[in-house]
Amino acid sequence: MSTAVSPKILELGALRRICSGCSLRELCLPAGLDNDAIAALDEFVQKRQDIQPQEMAYRAGDPASNVYAVRLGSFKSYRMRKNGDIQIIGVHLPGELFGLDALASEQRQVYTEALEKSNICALPVGDLERLSHQIPAIGRQMMRLMARELNNSYEEHELLANDSALTRVAKFIWRYAQRRQQVGLQYRQFDIAISRQDLANYLGLQVETVSRAFRELRDRKVITASRSKLEILDPDALQALIRKE
Amino acid sequence: MSTAVSPKILELGALRRICSGCSLRELCLPAGLDNDAIAALDEFVQKRQDIQPQEMAYRAGDPASNVYAVRLGSFKSYRMRKNGDIQIIGVHLPGELFGLDALASEQRQVYTEALEKSNICALPVGDLERLSHQIPAIGRQMMRLMARELNNSYEEHELLANDSALTRVAKFIWRYAQRRQQVGLQYRQFDIAISRQDLANYLGLQVETVSRAFRELRDRKVITASRSKLEILDPDALQALIRKE
DNA sequence: CGGTAGCTTGACAACTGTCAATCTTGGTGG
DNA sequence: CCACCAAGATTGACAGTTGTCAAGCTACCG
């Protein structure tokens, strides 16, 4: 029940060059590391894995043995309450790490599930800790990434504590687009694999309220949106919404 | 504008024994470290500092040179928006670290301010990184503490996304008491230095709503509360509130 | 091409926010 | 030491945004 990701065979020559040859190397864990450090990292990064929609990277209670990097696709992380309700606490896009909480405890505290067909790299925690010791730059980079996570959580706190439903949705879309832009993906027009229900849950709203926010944005000609297709028609208007309301 | 904490002279013999002799050593950064590691840590920990109510440990924009441990008192951390509004994102109690986001960037992203007369230890980030390299246990402990912070932020997300005003206040009180209990402080009856206004801000509510929640808890004989004095009369009722509503 | 899960819309209710007034409390000065 | 002042906290009345419930629509999967 624990492991769920099905490994995929890569051509032999690539095994040694996972990070070095990755298009996300400037944005992922290797960012800012020199070639030697990346070479060392390459030795430990598990091979890439395909993962299907609704497949779990891990579940709460699993041994927390890896940190993961998203290469392709997207994921949601959530906690589960005793009554079975879930609370989505994060969405992970290409170039981002997830499962960093693994460094706190032996067991996973959250669930992380693929929202669409995706591809990830697994980084064994034990190796990371050993590597951090051998190559300080890697340890520092890990710290940096965790601290970035913390800062993200502060922004989420602000959003949940202050913003109206419309602003929450606008911010989500805006930030989603920004995050895509950072890794060189289309950011004016793209798919959001997350469902309205999940988005509502994440933003602390009801589905109906999210739906109305989307309609409002559509009516104002800020975006077009059907199911998972999204296009930003008026980025300035979107930004204005975020700053004012 | 940057440095704000006024140092206080300690007797000479204590300089070498900051962590070793600290009553919080089992709960703070040294937790789980062996004596050698703690001795190494002692070398680097800046001497304790008193800090007055409303005094800032640091401001956004300051160089992020230290991580801090609370020995006594309490602190609030907050972000500031362009319009001058603040968003409180955390409250720090004895035995807890703050300023961990320092490990992400050269500049502080948030403000941290004493809520009452307090006392802290400053841990220079550069030293911590060097130490982490020399003594892997310290690096691991740092990771562990940051990951714990992340898990805390997930709980806050859940609270802000789901819980009613009454539940938010009940949870805050309950967790506050738990945190005090962990470091051996009175937890049935104590002071909360944070103002209603700040508490409301932190919990994503208005002052009036927080005030009403307190009255409700008082009416139900769950707590007694005046200004900053708080007593938990019925812990079971408090827990029940948290689990159900 | 049909079934179904997910999304949208409408009407209404409820919780929390807003505005305004009053009360407490802690600090200051006479 | 007491009285006053000001900031913070409480309370009440009302409004508004979001939640709830119910129905209908849409689009994707088989």
Contact A123, A132 (CB under 8 A): no
Query: What residues in chain A have their Cβ under 8 A from chain B's Cβ atoms?
Result: 79, 81-82, 85, 87, 89, 100-105, 109-110, 129, 132-133, 136, 139-140, 142-144, 146-151, 153-154, 156-158, 160-162, 201-204, 243
Which is more confident, B15 or B33?
B33
The C-alpha atoms of residue A116 and residue A192 are separated, in whole angstroms, by 10
Question: In terms of residue numbers, what domain contains B28?
Answer: 12-156
Q: Which nucleotide is nearest to B208 (CA to C1')?
A: D10
Last residue of a domain, one of B156, B177, B212: B156
Which is more confident, A9 or B158?
B158
Q: Which tokens in the block code for residue A115?
A: 């929202």
Least confidently predicted of A78-87, A104-113, A123-132, B175-184: A123-132
Contact A225, A217 (CB under 8 A): yes
Residue B150 lies in a domain: yes
Half-sphere exposure of A221 (CA within 13 A, CB side): 0
Least confidently predicted of B54-68, B92-106, B166-180: B92-106
**Domain identity same for B144 and B192:** no
Name the strand (E) or helix (H) holding A96.
none
Report pLDDT for B127: 83
Interface touch A243/B82, C-beta < 8 Å? yes
Q: Which tokens in the block code for residue A121?
A: 């790299």
The C-alpha atoms of residue A108 and residue A89 are separated, in whole angstroms, by 14
Name the strand (E) or helix (H) holding B53.
none
For residue B26, pLDDT beyond 80: no
**Domain identity same for A78 and A199:** no
Residue A33 lies in a domain: yes
**Domain identity same for B102 and B132:** yes
pLDDT tens per residue, range B125-160? 888 888 887 887 888 888 888 888 999 999 999 999
Q: Where are the alpha helices (DSSP H) in chain A?
A: 35-44, 125-134, 136-162, 165-182, 196-203, 207-219, 235-244
Quick one: pLDDT band at residue B2, thresholds 50, 70, 90?
A: very low
pLDDT tens per residue, range B218-239? 999 999 998 899 999 999 999 9
Report pLDDT for A39: 77
**Domain identity same for B111 and B226:** no
Average pLDDT in the A43-54 region?
82
Quick one: pLDDT band at residue A4, thresholds 50, 70, 90?
A: very low
Least confidently predicted of A41-55, A137-151, B149-163: A41-55
How many domains does chain A fold into?
2
Report pLDDT for B1: 42
DSSP string across A184-237: T---SEEE--S-HHHHHHHHT--HHHHHHHHHHHHHTTSEEEETTEEEES-HHH
**Domain identity same for B55 and B124:** yes
- Enter the DSSP assignment of B79: E
Residue in A160, A171, A239 to test binding to B, most B beta-carbons within 10 Å: A160
**Domain identity same for B90 and B196:** no
Report pLDDT for B6: 35
Report pLDDT for B158: 97
Q: How many CB atoms lie within 10 A of CB A38?
A: 22
Average pLDDT, chain B: 86
The C-alpha atoms of residue B233 and residue B134 are separated, in whole angstroms, by 49
Report pLDDT for B244: 61
pLDDT tens per residue, range A175-225? 999 999 988 899 999 999 999 999 999 999 999 999 999 999 999 999 999
Calculate ∠ Cα A60-A64-A69, nearest 5°: 100
**Domain identity same for B149 and B176:** no
Contact A75, A92 (CB under 8 A): yes
Residue B3 lies in a domain: no
Is pTM, for the whole model, over 0.85? yes
Q: Does residue B205 lie within 7 Å of nucleic acid chain C, judged by its CB?
A: yes
Q: Which residues of B touch A136 (CB under 8 A)?
A: 129, 132-133
Least confidently predicted of A29-43, A105-119, B50-64: A29-43
pLDDT tens per residue, range B45-86? 766 889 999 999 999 999 999 999 998 999 999 999 988 899
Minimal Cα–Cα distance from A204 to chain B, Å? 4
For residue B9, pLDDT beyond 80: no
The C-alpha atoms of residue A233 and residue A216 are separated, in whole angstroms, by 14
The C-alpha atoms of residue A106 and residue A123 are separated, in whole angstroms, by 15
The dihedral over CA atoms of B52, B81, A149, A153, expressed in degrees to the nearest 10, equals: 90
